[in-house]
């Protein structure tokens, strides 16, 4: 993890804490993956770190940007313009993300499991199962790569199983493990000898 990535995660974690996210460091790592460390056009121009599309009852405004959508029948399709949520700051983005998961938890059992998760690992594995439709986020892996909670949710003991979203969850977990293992960087205005 480089210094810019660490700074992104520290800032995102602080904003997730302000938004009362139950797993702020994990949410920051998820935002890093979804926004390419804050470098996506959507993140730069709209403070949208999670790819949140326009809501029915929009509060802050929208930004129209092209995207690619996955269709099982046609594969990847270029969409010339999609309305995305535009946020005044990162805190508003983290708040809306959490409210969206809570609002949709009755329709999507994985979101409910994520909101009720006992730990950050269970949270990201649960939320990843419904969040992305990108087939690249699916993971073909055996139980040896799954956490105990995921193995219980997807009993594949010894077999290879397609798990929607697990590839995404494992990528976020990799960022998370590196983030929590790395010592914080000293403030840049201090001389460390």
- Of the two residues 146 and 5, the one the predictor is more confident about is 5
The alpha carbon torsion through 152, 157, 159, 161 (nearest 10 deg) reads 0
CA distances from 141 to 35, 78, 131, 169, 170 (A): 25, 30, 19, 13, 11
Across all residues in the chain, what is the average pLDDT?
Answer: 81
Total structural domains within the chain:
1
Burial class (CB in 10 A: 0-12, 13-18, 19+), 90: buried
Alpha-carbon distance 1 to 71, whole Å? 34
Grade residue 106 by pLDDT with cuts at 50, 70 and 90: very high
pLDDT tens digits, 110-146: 899 999 999 998 888 888 876 666 656 555 554 444 5
Is the residue at 62 inside a domain?
no
Q: Report pLDDT for 62.
A: 93
pLDDT tens digits, 35-77: 999 999 999 999 999 999 998 888 899 999 988 877 778 878 8
Q: Report pLDDT for 143.
A: 45
Domain of 139, CATH number, reads 1.10.530
Cβ proximity of 33 and 12 under 8 Å = no
Least Cα distance to 32 among 183, 172, 167 occurs for 172
Quick one: average pLDDT of 85-97? Answer: 96
Alpha-carbon distance 82 to 169, whole Å? 25
Q: Report pLDDT for 184.
A: 61
Alpha-carbon distance 74 to 72, whole Å? 6
Q: Report pLDDT for 144.
A: 43
- Of the two residues 142 and 13, the one the predictor is more confident about is 13
Is the residue at 113 inside a domain?
yes
Three-class DSSP labels, the chain: CCHHHHHHHHHHHHHHHHCCCCCHHHHHHHHHHHHCCCCCHHHHHHCCCCCCECCCCCCCCEEEEEEEEEECCCEEEEEEEEEEECCCCHHHHHHHHHHHHHHHCCCCHHHHHHHCCCCHHHHHHHHHHHHCCCHHHCEEECHHHCCHHHHHHCCCCCCCEEECCHHHHHHHHHHHHHHHHCCCCCCCCCCCC
Which residue range forms the structural domain that includes residue 163? Answer: 3-48+89-181
Is the residue at 41 inside a domain?
yes
Is the residue at 94 inside a domain?
yes
Is the residue at 66 inside a domain?
no
Alpha-carbon distance 52 to 112, whole Å? 18
């Amino acid at each position: 993890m480089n210094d810019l990535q660490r700074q992104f995660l520290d800032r995102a974690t602080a904003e997730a804490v302000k938004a009362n996210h139950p797993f702020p460091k994990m949410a920051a790592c998820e935002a890093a993956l979804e926004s390419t460390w804050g470098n996506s056009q959507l993140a730069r121009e709209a403070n949208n770190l999670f790819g949140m599309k326009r809501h029915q009852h929009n509060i802050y405004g929208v930004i129209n940007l092209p995207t690619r959508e996955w269709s099982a029948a046609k594969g990847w399709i270029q969409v010339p313009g999609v309305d995305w949520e535009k946020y005044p700051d990162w805190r508003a983005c983290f708040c809306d993300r959490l409210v969206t998961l809570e609002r949709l938890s009755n329709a999507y059992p994985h979101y409910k499991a994520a909101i009720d998760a006992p730990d950050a690992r269970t949270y990201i594995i649960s939320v990843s199962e419904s969040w992305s439709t990108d087939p690249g986020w699916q993971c073909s892996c055996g139980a040896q790569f799954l956490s105990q909670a995921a193995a219980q949710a997807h009993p594949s003991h010894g077999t290879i199983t397609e798990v929607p979203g697990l590839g995404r969850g494992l990528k976020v977990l990799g960022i998370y493990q590196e983030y929590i293992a790395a010592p914080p960087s000293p403030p840049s205005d201090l001389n460390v000898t």
